[in-house]
Amino acid sequence: MALPPALIIGTGRWIWSSMWHLMVSQLAPRNNSGEYQRPESQFRQSISSDKTSPFPPASDRYTLIVGEGCPWAHRTLVVRALKGLENAIAVVKVSPDANAGGWRFDVSFEGCTALPELYQKAQPRYSGRNTVPVLWDGETKSIVNNESAEILVMLNDGFNEWAEHPTLNLYPEDLRSSIDGWNEKIYRYVNNGVYRCGFAQTQGTYESACKGLFETLDELDGVLETRRYICGDRATLADIRLFTTLFRFDAVYFGLFKCNLRQIQSYPNLGPYLRDLYQLPGVAETCNLEAVKRDYYGNLFPLNPGQIIPLGPDAMNFSLPHHRDRMGQTEVAY
């Protein structure tokens, strides 16, 4: 005899719901209310000219390890491009391995085929998360830092001797208070906010994260009505940190992460602002929209079990005119 449809549906729903909560809890740690909690980065040393520093500034010594789909890694590529550090700091790419649940090197690096192997090489018995970006020291065979926010500051001012644009300062003293304030808000409500939406495990935590995300995007859109960039007439680290999330928003976060109240391109100021940043010298070359869609839709199995990758949106949209130069302000202050 055929089983009653209600029993089949109820059993399937219970099994899938239970497995989904288990998989998401492994993918994204949560608190007791079901809200996503991003773990702290573990390697936090700096490039320094201090004679006692084990990591002095140097050319051809350090390597950035990045995944093209990762927004945290992408921001380091943007600063590297804007500063003109391509000849001083090498880049090694990793790609997600859906079966192993981690990053694998596109080409073997330091004798390692997967990122966890490199972490173990740097720190035997390491038990933390194996994340990108990684700033790797080829001389001491160790990880300098794996916190993107701190790597950005090092790239901005630690390698000026070898930079093609040494006078470009994305973290100027006179704007640091403003930059830091915006960075804190953008991280909580936008950069990490989209993940708090996508990985929320209860309706309440999702709605709270989604409302906070769009309230902040609305605020930013208002600020950008009278300023070309977040902190005034110069692009800063606040813009770079926001850019890599906005670049992914309509293609990934809008649908996959349920951040679907509005698309970025529909905002009167945020949409053109996104195109403005994309069209800064060297930035477009760091952007791979197809890799972004492949990495998110193809590897976040709990959010997209069918692993079907959408065709749109068209990456050419980022190259459309932005008209923000009508504000009469400079793009980047070299």
Catalytic residue among 62, 119, 171, 195: 195
| Burial degree of 241 (CB within 10 A; 0-12, 13-18, 19+) | buried
Structure-token pair, residue 228: 């070309």
Structure-token pair, residue 283: 């930035």
pTM, two decimal places: 0.92
Which pLDDT score, from 0 to 100, does residue 221 have? 98
Which pLDDT score, from 0 to 100, does residue 334 have? 55
For residue 210, count other CB atoms closer than 10 A to its CB.
21
Distances (CA, A) of 65 to 17, 120, 128, 159: 35, 15, 17, 17
DSSP E strands in 20-157: the ranges are 62-67, 90-97, 102-109, 112-114, 134-137, 142-145
Active site residue 112: no
Q: How far apart are alpha carbons 195 and 300 in whole angstroms?
A: 12
Q: What is the DSSP string of 29-45?
A: -B-TTS-B-PPPPS-B-
Structure-token pair, residue 14: 């219970």
Q: How far apart are alpha carbons 142 and 330 in whole angstroms?
A: 39
What percent of the chain stands above pLDDT 70? 88
pLDDT above 80 for 275: yes
What confidence tier does 112 reach under pLDDT thresholds 50, 70, 90? Answer: very high
pLDDT above 70 for 328: no
For residue 212, the cross-strand partners are none
Structure-token pair, residue 168: 């470009």
pLDDT above 60 for 244: yes
Residue carrying the six token digits 């390692």:
112
Which pLDDT score, from 0 to 100, does residue 309 have? 96
Q: Which of 252, 253, 315, 320 is nearest to 286 (CA)?
A: 315
pLDDT above 90 for 331: no
What mean pLDDT do residues 155-172 have? Answer: 98
What mean pLDDT do residues 322-331 have? Answer: 78
CA angle 136, 140, 142 (to 5 degrees): 40
Q: Which residue has the higher pLDDT, 52 or 11?
A: 52
Which pLDDT score, from 0 to 100, does residue 128 have? 87
The tens digit of pLDDT for each residue in 284-320 reads 999 999 999 999 999 888 888 899 999 999 999 999 9
The 10 Å CB-count burial string (b at 16+, else e) for 259-287 is beebbbbebebbbbbbbbbbbbebbeebb
Assess whether the region 62-162 and the region 173-327 belong to the same CATH fold.
Answer: no
Which pLDDT score, from 0 to 100, does residue 101 have? 76
Length of the chain: 334
Which pLDDT score, from 0 to 100, does residue 235 have? 97
Q: Do residues 215 and 189 lie in contact, with contact meaning Cβ atoms separated by under 8 Å?
A: yes
Long-range CB pairs of 180-185, under 8 A, 24+ apart, other chains included: 182/230, 182/231, 182/238, 183/149, 183/237, 183/238, 183/241, 185/216
Q: What's the chain's Rg over C-alpha atoms?
A: 21
Counting Cα atoms < 13 Å in the Cβ hemisphere of 301 gives 16
Q: Do residues 89 and 155 lie in contact, with contact meaning Cβ atoms separated by under 8 Å?
A: yes
pLDDT above 80 for 33: no
Active site residue 259: no
Most confident of 5-9, 205-209, 330-334: 205-209
What mean pLDDT do residues 213-221 have? Answer: 98
Of 152-161, 186-195, 319-328, the range with the lowest mean pLDDT is 319-328
Which pLDDT score, from 0 to 100, does residue 149 have? 97
The tens digit of pLDDT for each residue in 172-197 reads 999 999 999 999 999 999 999 999 99
Which pLDDT score, from 0 to 100, does residue 41 have? 76
Q: How far apart are alpha carbons 192 and 190 in whole angstroms?
A: 6
Which pLDDT score, from 0 to 100, does residue 35 have? 66
Q: Which of 140, 134, 91, 139 is nearest to 116 (CA)?
A: 134
Mean pLDDT of the chain: 91
Structure-token pair, residue 21: 């909560």
Q: How far apart are alpha carbons 36 and 214 in whole angstroms?
A: 18
Amino acid letter for position 87: N
Q: Where are the domains of the chain?
A: 62-162, 173-327
DSSP E strands in 141-222: the ranges are 142-145
CATH 3.40.30.10, domain 62-162, yes or no? yes
Per CATH, which fold does 173-327 belong to?
A: Glutathione S-transferase Yfyf (Class Pi); Chain A, domain 2 (1.20.1050)
Catalytic residue among 62, 70, 210, 253: 70
Which pLDDT score, from 0 to 100, does residue 264 have? 98
